[in-house]
Amino acid sequence: EMFSSRQITLLPLVTAQCLELSLAFTMNNPYRFLSHPSVFSGIAVRNIPIDNQALGNGVMYRHHSITASCRGSRSLTMSGFGFKSKKDTFKYTGSQRPGVLSPKRTVPDSIIKPDYWADSKPKAKAPVLPWTIPVNSPEEIAGIRAACKIAREILDLAGRSVRAGMSTDEIDRLVHEETIQRGAYPSPLNYFGFPKSVCTSINEIICHGIPSTTALLKDGDMINIDVTCYYKGFHGDCSEMFCIGEVDPAGRKLIETTYKAWQAAIAICKPGVAYSEIGGAIEDIVVKEGMTSSREFCGHGVGSVFHTNPQILHYRNRENHGVMAPGHVFTIEPMICEGTCQSVMWQDGWTAATKDGRRSAQFEHTFLVTDTGVEALTGKTDASPRQWWET
């Protein structure tokens, strides 16, 4: 997912005694130690070498302690991996909470990596004009197709593995290891500093949930697993909902409605159709069910660049984001909410939860525009897990 808003740049200022970040919340590269200058006054760094580049990228240091002094009564201490709060006054909206992170996973030198893997900063940029959309050559399409095939395989493996009592870190480990085994790189890893190899979003989490060792799946949970793989210069992106045990009827209705809206959007896609029409097709389904479609996150072009044009808004709009043409590759990934589509951003800067704490669901494929319609490059295979309405 992309934020459909403008990014703000982080500028770190380092002194010999402490590190101060004037602003550490950005719309699309937010994984930092601080969230906003109105909350935090600075970070005191003790017993670790000050590394401007590493700290600015939000690297977590093992076996050392970093304390963020706050305006007010809050003080966060990071010891080992993950934050633990002395007094966490953040108003969470549902049942999910931040967890403890395992050590950052490594990628072999032999694997081709995206341009942000080391410093977290993507170098390739999307075209400035939103209606300017990359047209992929047959060779590029073949490369994207190969990446999408791997992403589909990994998503299927992850989906088959979920069970009550499993931590989301176990999902991350499986995704990471299976991706590496196929000679690919897990695209989320260190993308704008994201610390893990997959996004795991449970119940009220709309998107970008960070896997942790302490987030345990429970019977009745519903989880979105979002997998993107980078293989020999190209990304493939997909996600799906999975139920843990028996999900209640309202949750099942949300998942099925999300799928139907997603399929309705796919059905209108063909050369000559404006990308802005996708959102209306989605809302035609969800609004009559009393549900809402997130306006803060969007689909995107994908290929040699993780997020590029076109920008796909999943709500009714009249934005000029271009017209579909053969060779375009993009995602449709509506995030549909039981209640309000407004979100609350956690202090990790990534995890977006519904403002009312009610649940959200999402499906995603990478699509190629053909001469007559679209092809789901991350489409299911005969071996893929099926939803209850697909069996």
pLDDT digits (tens, 9 = 90+) for 30-39: 333 223 332 2
The closest alpha carbon to 274, from 306, 317, 331, belongs to: 317
Helix (H) or strand (E) holding 41: strand 40-45
The Cα 93–Cα 308 span in angstroms is: 31
Distance of CA 390 to the CA centre of its chain: 26
Residues of the chain with pLDDT under 70: 2-86
pLDDT at 44: 33
pLDDT at 263: 98
The closest alpha carbon to 295, from 274, 272, 319, 266, belongs to: 319
pLDDT at 4: 52
- Tokens representing 382? 């005969």
pLDDT at 87: 79
Query: In sequence order, which residues have a C-beta less than 8 Å from that of residue 111 and are 6 or more positions away?
Result: 180, 183, 184, 185
Terminal Cα-to-Cα distance of the chain (whole angstroms): 29
Q: Which CATH number fits domain 138-376: 3.10.180.10, 3.30.1280.10, 3.40.640.10, 3.90.230.10?
A: 3.90.230.10
SS3 160: helix
For 186, other C-beta atoms within 10 Å of its C-beta total: 28
pLDDT at 38: 29
pLDDT at 86: 65
- Tokens representing 1? 């997912």
The Cα 185–Cα 120 span in angstroms is: 14
For 62, other C-beta atoms within 10 Å of its C-beta total: 9
Beta bridge partners of 308: 301
Beta bridge partners of 312: 299
Apex 71 CA angle, 66 and 77, nearest 5: 20
Helix (H) or strand (E) holding 154: helix 138-161
pLDDT at 391: 80
